[in-house]
Amino acid sequence: MPKPTTTERLDKADRQLAAIRDMIQDGMRLVIQSRKDIRALNAAQIRLTAAQNRTDASLKALIDSLRGDNGRTNGKTKH
């Protein structure tokens, strides 16, 4: 097998560097997209938490209204 020339070796190194550069750029794009996705998930989680809190408050109000005491407190009629 013949020994590669200097030009061939430099060409191979240039191709390898270009491939590495492309991989780094792809990786950076993935990191940026992941950060955007995480921000969107965080915002959705905040909205979901707020909605759950409103639902909990509404459910508590409903349950409290269904526990009516029919005008009685501790078995005694209110006056």
Question: What is the structure's pLDDT at 78?
Answer: 56
Question: What is the structure's pLDDT at 79?
Answer: 52
Question: What is the structure's pLDDT at 70?
Answer: 60
Question: What is the structure's pLDDT at 68?
Answer: 78
pTM, entire model: 0.61
Question: What is the structure's pLDDT at 1?
Answer: 84
Asked whether 67 and 61 are in contact (CB, 8 A), the reply is no
Q: How far is CA 20 from CA 7, 27, 69, in A?
A: 20, 10, 75
Question: What is the structure's pLDDT at 73?
Answer: 56
Q: Write out residues in the chain with pLDDT < 50, as ranges.
A: none
